[in-house]
Structure 1
């Protein structure tokens, strides 16, 4: 299984928007399995290791088994936003929350 991730960030003083795109680079379909309704997470850090914000932190996700099949070459994009960010320079890393596949992507940005 070969998945590629890309994280696009659109930062303003009011909001930082994240778009995490996961692409199936494998010639065969990939069936992504999730143990709950959480499909991804985005973690924002500053100074290399100080966690500032996480999409999943403080959220409740429905407890249900879900799946998503990506055909060869198909992509899926997961979006989220950080409201009222503090000014600074950050690194965001997005993670796929599937039980059976790993995919992540990072991007640097400033507010």
Structure 2
């Protein structure tokens, strides 16, 4: 199976009141890539401190429909998955975005500051 490329964009609003995450997943190959989502939560996002401590996770406290869902990324096709961290604490962090699929690990990380 071909792998999917992932990149993570982080946007901190001017006053540091919220942080927006956008995980962009693209099939840069020449063949379609089939995946199976584990549940109705397509992607997850986490925020880690410099020492790796998790301070926020988008999926915490959320309930997802437990249904496997197939999907296919055609060659050149991309999809964007978004989340928002409200009321972030000031500091230096690493954001992690991950596609919640069974077959392969599709994730990206990027540092940011609030």
For residues 68 and 48 of structure 1, what CA distance do their matches in structure 2 show? 35
Partner of 2:101: 98
Partner of 2:3: 2
Partner of 1:11: 12
For residues 17 and 56 of structure 2, what CA distance do their matches in structure 1 show? 15
Q: Does 1:37 align with 2:40?
A: yes
TM-score by length of structure 1 reads 0.94
What is the root-mean-square deviation in Å for CA atoms of aligned residues?
Answer: 1.0
1:12-60 Cα offsets, whole Å, 9 max, x none, are: 2111000000111221111120121011111101123111001111111
Shift of 1:66: 1.1
For residues 51 and 21 of structure 2, what CA distance do their matches in structure 1 show? 19
Displacement over 4 Å in runs of 4+: none
Secondary structure (helix, strand or coil) at the match of 2:26 reads strand
TM-score by length of structure 2 reads 0.92
Secondary structure (helix, strand or coil) at the match of 1:21 reads strand
Q: Which runs of 5+ in 2 are unaligned?
A: none
For residues 71 and 86 of structure 2, what CA distance do their matches in structure 1 show? 28
Q: Aligned runs of 1:1-111 on 2, under 5 Å?
A: 1-12=2-13, 13-111=16-114
